[in-house]
Chains A and B, each alone.
Chain A
Amino acid sequence: MRPWFVAALLLLTLAGCGERTAPEDPAGFAGLGEAAGDFAQARRGNALRFPEDHAAHPDYRIEWWYLTANLADARGEPLGLQWTLFRQALTPPDERPAPTPWAADQLWMAHMAVSRGDTHRVAERFARSHSAETGGQAGTRAEPFRAWVDHWQLASRVDASDEANTDDTFAALQLTAHQDDEHGGFGYDLTLTAEGPLVAHGAAGFSQKAADGQGSMYYSQPFWRIEGEVTLDGETREVSGRGWLDREWSSQLLDERQQGWDWFSLHLEDGHRLMAFQLRGGGPDGGDYRSGTWISPAGEPTALGPDEIGLTPLASREVEGREVPTRWRLEVPRAGVELIVEAPHAERWMDTSVPYWEGEVIARDADSGQDRDRRRGVGYLEMTGY
């Protein structure tokens, strides 16, 4: 499960800083609770098909390619990064404009971030495209895989012209993105190598998001080994570490009453991966709706139901004028996991047109007591609607 705010583009200002979406917004966070209308629907029983599903699904309202990574440089200093491409359909499939020059039915938004210590650099880009054409300012391709906006791109490293090569082009990717800014610029040039299989969440890829059945198609590649270079404030370092890529598409994600969420992706030291989220509001009795997936080191998923996850905020910090919980208790009794998940640096506010919090976290055993060094894993936390 990934941020749902692509639809917020509907509300957003053309450039610069957008209006903050008020929590009492009637259609859920950033309008993501809007009814699906004439768009295709994500349903239980829809099957995932590869490589087609790596590329865009323009008949659905919203979609994203969402990569986060916990890296470290040669001296072991930790560094986090995020690269996200959001797609938003401007019109339902049967109302698309004729593909005249510049006419568009798809809107693209990309976010990138690099963080180290208290430094957090963020950039954002927008583009338009028509689903009837390829090679626009932004877009995606299934085989060999490629997703891009301008010169930011995530693309397969497998040479597709080589007939003899039968490798999965999605298993070896290259991520490139750079942005100039007043601090000397930041960006990355990284190779991603899958060390495990794709993981389908929920019921064979259908991930329910509310008690009354709304949801999305959702799969991940949580086993990336990443190597390459990251530039921050003009200084480039060799880095390596782990990454997590989420793919999700839907036409109505949230229940109208849901106003935000807290989402966790963790790489545990023993090779397990854990994805867990809660949607605040929209639960069985108006409470929070929780869901998640417990993933074995070999990539076998176990779907976790609303009652199988415990999430409790323990401490919060003020970031950019908002009270944001940065220390959580995360319990999955079925997997025998009871963790304290904490963001070592609270300054991870994404001051983009739709603002949210996204940053690296460290997980420890809840019973580790004063032993602050006993790490169980690292990962990313995303919080919206604060």
Chain B
Amino acid sequence: MLTALATLLSHYRRHPGQLAMLLLGLWVAGALWSGVQAINASARDSYSRAEALFTTGLDRLERRDGEPLTRDDYLRLRRAGLPVSPLLEGSLEGLDGTQLTVIGIDPLTLPGDNAFAAASRQGELTAFLTPPWQTRVAPDTLPSLGVNARQAHGAEPRLAEGRLPPLMPSPTLPPGTLVMDIAAAARLLDSGERITRLVSAPGMLERAPEGLVLTRAATLVSPGQLTESFHLNLTAMALLALVVGLFIVQAALGLALEQRLGMLRTLRALGVSGRGLVGLLALELALLGLVGAVAGIVSGVWLASLLLPDVAATLGSLYGAEVAVTLNLPWHYWLGGLAVTLGGLLLAGSGVLWRAARLSVLGLGQAQAWRSGFLRQLRGMALAGGGVTALGLVLWAWLSRQPPGEGLVAGFGLIAALLLASALWLPPLLALALAGLGRLVRRHPLAQWALADLQLQLPRLALAMMALLIALAANLGVSSMVGGFRLTFLDWLDQRLVADYYLRPAPEQFDTVQAWLAERPEVAELLPTRHAEATLVEIDGPDGLRAPHLPVGLYGITPGESLIPSWPLLATRAGRDAAWQAFAAGEAAFVNEQLAIDQRLEPGDRLTLTAPAGQETLTVAAVYPDYGNPRGEVLLATPRLAERFAAAPSSIGLVLAAEADEAALRDALRRRFALGGDALVDQREVKRMSVEIFERTFTITRALSALTLGVAALALLASLLAQARERRRQLAPLWALGVPRARLVTIQLAQLGGMALSVGALALPLGALLALGLVAVINVAAFGWRLPLHVFPGDLAVTLATAMGVALAAAALPATRLWRTPPRALLAEESGT
């Protein structure tokens, strides 16, 4: 049996290219898949650490007027018997420039069931409560403090704000978070008697005490929930890469089997049983799989560590979710990666094993006979493609009946079906096209030969071409989506940010600052905003009454001559002007697209919201786009919001008069009101930051999509290299008939280039369809807003060029070899068969 295995494996000694291709496929597939999974696992670990902390999971109390609570408020509530605990939050800059969150707690009153309590179980309370106090910090935050893990315990790093209390590493804390006693935090942050909020165990308070706002833990969205769709996107991309990689593997395996048919028959004839042979092939597969998978996982982790800082930055800026920038992988991650890669290999290799099992001992390996087998296979592919299409149609029908914003997984399923069906139909289509073309060029023998030859090559190229099609289409779809999003987003930013400066005065200064600004000659218009929270208790729409009990944000804007013309509206009841008139009069509200999709709201619906003085009912006049916002929002005119909902002041937008002296105004503002450094923000700065956040969001998507295309190119190259020898053998007679070598090389390049171009051309509509699926289905389900579909001619050209480039690059190496091979060698090879 060992001898038989050695015989089987000896094939790869003679054909190292095939072995390399097999391992390459496995390696690349495994690397991309496990890389993305490593990122997901690491991020989830960060979320679960954050969720276990007291920032989520506890009810919160804050002052209705937006001013900070004080220690006296806390004592007053405690003496009234309310089970509240003080929390002080602030931020510090780490030594490497990262923002660190300082959380000061009172462990004596903090509700018990949180990670911090668990982390402190062994610790000493006294050391935590008394000078020099302690800083609890996750080990992955230590680099930001300039401390290495071995010296961390008891170290007292100095930051700009002062020396931190001695460090005490606590792995259960979320990254970027320093937890200490509230006395130590108050000293470090110089916050005096102020606290950020009061927290309470969920449900312990029946209602908010006078003057305070109670936010229930249940309404606070946890980072895990928020980012779920982001991770699903990543997973889908990784799955795509895995599939493409496995295409390569299957191509390599098929080729290796094909070339070993003679050897297999000999082995059978020598007495190795059919079952034994299949077992041996399976064993071979497992060995190769193990090597490939391990290499894949190792490189995957390396890849993940490269990509993670970008992912972390994205998640941080999009959702405010802190994710550690160093990998933190649970043991099941490793097993899972191995299982998925090996499972995929088994799937890819099952066809080969099936064929080996049905191998007829006496059958002769004949090209034509084999071709008829391929024709059967083509019919099978066309049928399977039809089946997948039907499945896709069913999914589409189901999705179109769903309320918008649901069915993210089904949406990905639909897109997967679209890709798979196209891939399955590609070889039959190519075969048909070749046969048709062959009839057209009957008068040109060389062209006819080239087409017939391509038909013979098709079985071996088919898989590589399928991989190329999928990769091209995915690349095009993703870049259309990202590019379209970018355009829309930038437009929207321009429309939204109409003021030249945004000023954020302290709440107690707000009215004075506003009055002062109104007098200044430099200011053309003031756009004060306000913010409040409320619960949407009732919706009165055409389908009757609904009671969603949904927490929503309320925002107040100033509908003036600068804002109204540029503020985009998606749907209105009676036109733009009427909508703005009703809005400015305070009779109507606008809702953002997220809320409209989520609650199936339409202009004309009536909303009932909780307000300090009971309930308020408003009519929806329009729906507006609100990209990048995970929450539902209701927009009101600022005066109305202030009056009815006691909304806290938020910021003032300053539209400057033409030729206003900006610097003078800035200086006057700073001198008059002693504003903090970040109180006045330049609109250009806001835009720059927003665009930066946006670019980060799609860094990963772009990187993965480019990597997938790279994998497909490798697949094509590998398939061509693997059969280069055989090709030479087929070309030899042609050369012997007098066709010059230059001509032969051109034919070769034309064959492949033409095929790749056709695949590229097919990829164009497929990519557009994919982009449509992404913006109209996936995006709505994942983020809650719809994007207009943009197709960029540049992207299309790039796709075609990529297809050609990949094919020509892949063909170039075998072609050069052919060019260099002396004709004698070609003939020798021919006679050798």
Query: Hey, which bits of chain A sit against chain B, CB under 8 A?
Result: 9-16, 19, 90-91, 95, 97, 100-105, 107, 126-128, 135-137, 150-151, 178, 180
Q: Tell me the B92-149 residues at the A interface (CB within 8 Å).
A: 104, 106-113, 116-117, 120-121, 124-126, 128-131
Q: Give CA–CA (A100, B194) in the complex, Å.
A: 12
Q: Give CA–CA (A104, B86) in the complex, Å.
A: 15
* CB-contact partner of B112 in A10, A14, A102, A151, under 8 A: A14
B-side contacts of A103, CB under 8 Å: 131, 183, 187
Q: A10-B125, A102-B186, A151-B78 are in contact. Are A97 and B117 (CB under 8 A)?
A: no
| Any A CB within 8 A of the CB of B79 | yes
Whole-angstrom distance from the CB of A361 to the nearest CB of chain B? 32
A-side contacts of B187, CB under 8 Å: 100, 103
* CB-contact partner of A14 in B79, B110, B130, B193, under 8 A: B110
The answer to whether B125 touches A102, judged by C-beta atoms less than 8 angstroms apart, is: no
The answer to whether B131 touches A97, judged by C-beta atoms less than 8 angstroms apart, is: yes
* CB-contact partner of B125 in A14, A97, A150, A180, under 8 A: A14
| Any A CB within 8 A of the CB of B626 | no
B-side contacts of A100, CB under 8 Å: 183, 186-187
B-side contacts of A150, CB under 8 Å: 78-79, 81
A-side contacts of B110, CB under 8 Å: 14-15
The answer to whether A127 touches B130, judged by C-beta atoms less than 8 angstroms apart, is: no
Query: Hey, which bits of chain B sit against chain A, CB under 8 A?
Result: 71, 74-75, 78-81, 86, 104, 106-113, 116-117, 120-121, 124-126, 128-131, 181-183, 186-187, 191-193, 204
Could you give 13 example pairs across A and B, Cβ below 8 Å? A9-B125, A11-B124, A14-B128, A15-B107, A100-B187, A101-B186, A102-B186, A104-B183, A107-B129, A127-B109, A128-B106, A137-B78, A151-B79
Q: A100-B187, A101-B192, A102-B186 are in contact. Are A12 and B125 (CB under 8 A)?
A: yes
Q: Give CA–CA (A137, B187) in the complex, Å.
A: 20
Closest A residue to B181 by CB, please name it: A102
The answer to whether B71 touches A13, judged by C-beta atoms less than 8 angstroms apart, is: no
Whole-angstrom distance from the CB of A342 to the nearest CB of chain B? 36
The answer to whether B131 touches A10, judged by C-beta atoms less than 8 angstroms apart, is: no
B-side contacts of A178, CB under 8 Å: 81
B-side contacts of A13, CB under 8 Å: 117, 120-121, 125
B-side contacts of A12, CB under 8 Å: 125
A-side contacts of B181, CB under 8 Å: 102
The answer to whether A101 touches B120, judged by C-beta atoms less than 8 angstroms apart, is: no
Q: Give CA–CA (A329, B451) in the complex, Å.
A: 111
Q: A14-B110, A128-B108 are in contact. Are A90 and B183 (CB under 8 A)?
A: no
Q: A12-B125, A13-B120 are in contact. Are A104 and B130 (CB under 8 A)?
A: yes
Whole-angstrom distance from the CB of A201 to the nearest CB of chain B? 30
Question: Given known contacts A14-B128, A95-B131, A102-B182, what 16 new A-B pairs fall within 8 Å (CB)?
Answer: A10-B126, A14-B120, A15-B107, A16-B112, A19-B121, A91-B130, A91-B131, A97-B183, A100-B187, A102-B71, A102-B181, A127-B78, A128-B106, A137-B78, A151-B80, A180-B204
A-side contacts of B113, CB under 8 Å: 15-16
B-side contacts of A95, CB under 8 Å: 131
Q: Give CA–CA (A103, B130) in the complex, Å.
A: 8
Q: Give CA–CA (A13, B112) in the complex, Å.
A: 10
B-side contacts of A105, CB under 8 Å: 130
The answer to whether B193 touches A151, judged by C-beta atoms less than 8 angstroms apart, is: no
Closest A residue to B75 by CB, please name it: A137
The answer to whether B183 touches A101, judged by C-beta atoms less than 8 angstroms apart, is: yes
* CB-contact partner of B108 in A19, A91, A127, A151, under 8 A: A127
B-side contacts of A97, CB under 8 Å: 130-131, 183
Whole-angstrom distance from the CB of A160 to the nearest CB of chain B? 19
Q: Give CA–CA (A10, B122) in the complex, Å.
A: 11
Q: Give CA–CA (A103, B192) in the complex, Å.
A: 11
A-side contacts of B182, CB under 8 Å: 102
The answer to whether A14 touches B117, judged by C-beta atoms less than 8 angstroms apart, is: yes
A-side contacts of B104, CB under 8 Å: 102
Q: Give CA–CA (A128, B130) in the complex, Å.
A: 11
A-side contacts of B186, CB under 8 Å: 100-102
The answer to whether A128 touches B121, judged by C-beta atoms less than 8 angstroms apart, is: no
Q: Give CA–CA (A90, B133) in the complex, Å.
A: 12
B-side contacts of A102, CB under 8 Å: 71, 86, 104, 106, 181-183, 186
B-side contacts of A107, CB under 8 Å: 108, 125, 129
A-side contacts of B128, CB under 8 Å: 14
Q: Give CA–CA (A19, B183) in the complex, Å.
A: 26
B-side contacts of A11, CB under 8 Å: 124
Whole-angstrom distance from the CB of B688 to the nearest CB of chain A? 38
Residue of A11, A14, A180 ringed by the most chain B CB atoms within 10 A: A14
Q: Give CA–CA (A127, B129) in the complex, Å.
A: 11
B-side contacts of A151, CB under 8 Å: 78-81
The answer to whether B120 touches A136, judged by C-beta atoms less than 8 angstroms apart, is: no
Residue of B79, B111, B204 ringed by the most chain A CB atoms within 10 A: B79
Whole-angstrom distance from the CB of A335 to the nearest CB of chain B? 43
Whole-angstrom distance from the CB of A322 to the nearest CB of chain B? 22
A-side contacts of B108, CB under 8 Å: 14, 107, 126-128
Q: Give CA–CA (A151, B182) in the complex, Å.
A: 22
Q: Give CA–CA (A97, B183) in the complex, Å.
A: 10
Q: A13-B121, A126-B109, A137-B78 are in contact. Are A101 and B193 (CB under 8 A)?
A: yes
Closest A residue to B192 by CB, please name it: A101
Closest B residue to A176 by CB, please name it: B81
* CB-contact partner of A90 in B71, B81, B130, B192, under 8 A: B130
Q: Give CA–CA (A280, B193) in the complex, Å.
A: 47
Residue of A12, A100, A105 ringed by the most chain B CB atoms within 10 A: A100
B-side contacts of A137, CB under 8 Å: 74-75, 78-79, 109
Q: Give CA–CA (A72, B122) in the complex, Å.
A: 43
Residue of B86, B121, B125, B191 ringed by the most chain A CB atoms within 10 A: B125
A-side contacts of B86, CB under 8 Å: 102
